[in-house]
Each structure stands twice: as C-alpha cells, then as structure tokens.
Amino acid sequence: MILGHRVFAALVFAVAMSTPAMAQDAKTVPQSRAEMQLSFAPLVKQTANAVVNVYAERVVERRSIFAGDPFFEEFFGQRMPNRTEKQSSLGSGVIVGRDGLVVTNNHVVEGANDIKVALADGREYPCKIMLKDDRLDLAVMKIEADGPFDIIPIGDSDAVEVGDLVLAMGNPFGVGQTVTSGIVSALARNQISNGDFGFFIQTDAAINPGNSGGGLINMKGELIGINTAIFSRGGGSNGVGFAIPANLVKVFVASAQGGGGSFIRPFVGATFEPVTSDVADALGLDRARGALVTAVQSGGPAESAGMRPGQVVVAVNGMAVEHPDALGYRLTTVGIGHEARVTVLEDGKPQDIALKLEQAPETAPRDERLIEGRNPFAGAVVANLSPRLADELRMPTSLQGVVVTEVNRGSPAARIGLAPKDIVRSVNGTAIDSSKTLESVVADEASFWRVEIERGGQLIRQFFR
C-alpha cells in the first residue's frame, strides 16, 4: 500500500488529538484506516486569515536611448524624454502582530511605490514598509488600519527536525491563497540564493512563484519559516523549496519594532572558511564540519575572546555549526549586545570562549565626497573605509582605504569603468589614504593620469590622458 498525503493528515490528527504529554513528547505514525482519512482543514482554518496576498506596484523609468549623449540631449532631449511605466508584482506575507505587522520577502516589495495586502476573507489594506534587507531577503510592513488582526505566532525553528510535517501557504502564480503539504527535507542549507545569507529550511511542500513571503507552518499552527526560493530550471515546484528560519525572522521583526532604519549584523572581527576534507584530515577532525578561523583582526571582539587562526568553530550556544554561513546565522540570531558561547576546536580539543557581539565600528569617519572637475574620478562618490562601511558594501571588514560607493551615470568615472567597491590605492604616484587626499590630488587637473585601483583583491593599473 502506498501512503500519500492522507498519511500526513493522519499524523496531524495523531499529534493534535493525543494527550498533552504525547503532543509535546511523541511523534507517531498512523495506526488505523480512520487515522489515515483525517484532514488538515482545522489547521488551515486556524491560520489562513493571517496569510495575506501582497500586491506591490512600482514606477519604472525607461531611459531614452539618447540619454547621456550631450549632442542629442541638447538638441532632442525635450522631444524624446525618458518614459515611465508601472510594474506590478505579486507575493505573499504573514501577519505576526495583532496591530498589523506583516513579514514578507524583500524582493516582493523592493522598489515598490504602492503596497497593498489582501486577507483570505477579501479585505484589502494599504501597507507601509518599516524595515527591509536585501541580504536576508526579509521585509516588515505595517497594515495602515486598526486591528486587531489574526496572527500566526512565530515558533522555534531550532526545534524543527527533518521529517516533520509542514504546510506551505501563499499566493502562487497570483491565483489566490493556496495550501500545500509536505515535510521538512533538510536543515541548514546554504549556497541557495545570491545574497550573503546561507541558512535555509528545505521542504518538499510545493512552493511556486508568488509563494515568496508566505508561511511555512508546523502542526501546532506556528510559523517556522518564510518561504523564499524554489530550486528548478523551469521556475516551478519540483519538490525542492526553501524557507528562512523563524528564529531569524523573530530577530528581524524585533529590530523593526525597535525603530532601527537598517538591520545590523554582529561584528566578529575574524574571517572564516569552510572546513574541507583535506583540512579536516590535517587538523585531525573526524569529519569536515565547522568554520575554520583564517584571520583575526586586531582589537576586534574575536581577538578579545581569545579566538586564533587555525581554530575551528563547531557550535554556538550548544547549536552545531556545519559551515561559515551557519556561524553567521547563529551569531545573528543571538543578537548585538549579547554574549555568545562559542565552541572551538584546537588540536582536536574543544573549548568554549565568550564572544561579545558588537556593531561594526566606524574606525575612520567615512567623510563621503563627490569628486568633481576635469579628472577621471569626476562623478564618483568616495568614502573612507571602516568595518561598518565595508559591511554595508558587503566587503571584507579588514579592508582599509578609500572606496567608491557610487558612480553617476554618464560621468567621466563611469566612462573609464570605475565601479562601486573599487578601492583607490594611488593617483600619479601619491598614495590615497583618505577621501580628502583623493579630492586634493585630482584638483590639479593634470594632463596625464596614472591610477591604481584594487578590485576584488586584484590591483589594476590604468593610464589616462
């Protein structure tokens, strides 16, 4: 006999209808035909009105093909102006606060000028964004209406186990609220998205375009993840979907409620690499796991805690760390201002160190400047690097110097190929140690320019007249 979704439903009933002790401590398989004919319907009714459809509308400017050309802009610019058009996107969200606090994916609302949510009962409300972060792909919105609203409580994603039953709820393909069922297929998945976040819950519950921002629900009716990605060439569900764990969502929501303009990650002051099988053999580890410490910054939290290159981080507060992305996730969920108990291996022996989690410091004032005049850098915005600015730009926090943060379209800097994250090392033989120095050097308006730029760890030398 082949057991399908009715088996899942039976397990839902077995857990929900057991004694309180069994509900907390036991997970059982179906024992009878009656158990196999039960339904997810009570759980769906409990949670459905807290899962919303998100409609985001953005205004996009279509640039004229002659934009940036001085000749055509002077003679034809008024006749062929840039055009604007509206674009709409569909997604999902989950209400987590009775005052109308909604969690969704950042990519659902990115750049939106007008956002509305629709509840399962048909009510529609405008929303405003409170906090968003493209690296975590999370956003928190506030419904602009009086509550109270139905909510889904945020659960403990660390209590999730592979094989647990889950429901995925959202608005796939814009057809309306849809519920799919499945199991947790894997935990701590990384290298899934283009962002720097790498710790996902994997599920075989069908997730399709439009499900983004919807809820992954456990059998207690708790939110254990925000659906965020599918893994298929065709763009449809092939039984491999991913969700951002609820414990990270919880920290992100708390940051939004605290009124922070941005979500700040803890600064460690160390760099880490995955432990390969060769490294594991060299260090005498039983298997390739953990985050290898490759460098420690002077004066940073890691150095103060006693962390040293060559150590391997294997746990944070007793939770296993399988790779560097998992370490970043664990420290982020602990939060800034708290102390994490980090377990490291050195010479094959474990030891615990106390790591204080701090905000990345701005050791040098960024002193942001727009370079002007007749020089190759005209139109570039530059600033002094610090661990905080480097973190904002997604660069190694150990880098120092003067970094390009923005390049104006059509400017001399854009025409020579200057790009954000480029570090200006020298101009005409003068070392550039600050944005003020760079501005002073290029003010000479020389007829010949010799420039050294660091890009992605490589030094590039260029000459301009």
The catalytic residues are: 107, 137, 212
Listed residue (275, 276, 316, 270) closest to 292, CA to CA: 275
The number of CA neighbours under 13 Å toward the Cβ of 130 is 19
Q: 246-257 and 324-334 are packed helices; what angle lies between their axes, rounded to 10 degrees?
A: 40
b/e per residue 195-223 (b: at least 16 CB within 10 A): eebbbbbbbbbbbbbbbbbbbbbbbebbb
3-state DSSP call for residue 110? coil
Which phi and psi angles does 249 have, rounded to 5°?
-60, -40
Cis previous bond, 148, omega within 30: yes
Q: Of 291, 302, 293, nearest to 326 (Cα)?
A: 291
**Cα end-to-end span (Å), the chain:** 79
Given a contact cutoff of 8 angstroms between Cβ atoms, the answer to whether 14 and 30 are in contact is: yes
| DSSP letters for 289-323 | -SEEEEEE-TTSHHHHHT--TT-EEEEETTEE--S
